[in-house]
Amino acid sequence: MKNTSFLPDFIGGDLFSKRTVTKQLPFIVYVVALSMLYITNTYVAEDVNSELMKQNRVLESKHVEYIYNKSEITKLTKQSYLVKQLKDKGIKESVEPLKKITTSRGEE
């Protein structure tokens, strides 16, 4: 083997024709494949993260809608609101307390 420097061999292209480099070709292919896999994984992770953020925004808007609708239902079913709405139709709120109605069955 002759003792030469790395830079002239690299520039001249002799570095890639040497037997030691050709022996390392499977490793180089492996490293390139791993690099491509890493890049692909990064893009997939970004897509998943983007979809997750989008779904979180949708969930947040649905939660706000749920809270609003729940408060509306609570407001519409309050006794004071119902009395006010039914007063216009001539229905009055009962001021008498509720009475329990009992029947005697079997006694004639």
Digit-by-digit pLDDT tens for the chain (108 residues) are 555 677 776 677 666 666 767 778 888 899 999 999 999 999 999 999 999 999 999 999 999 999 999 999 999 889 888 888 888 888 888 788 888 888 887 555
Residue at 21 is within a domain: yes
- Burial of residue 38, with CB atoms counted within 10 A of its CB: 0-12 exposed, 13-18 middle, 19 or more buried: exposed
Residue at 51 is within a domain: yes
Residue at 59 is within a domain: yes
Instruction: Give pTM, 2 decimals.
Output: 0.53
Range of the domain at 52: 6-83
Residue at 95 is within a domain: no
Residue at 31 is within a domain: yes
Domain count, the chain: 1
Residue at 73 is within a domain: yes
Tell me which residue has tokens 């939660």.
63
* Separation CA 52–CA 3 (nearest Å): 58
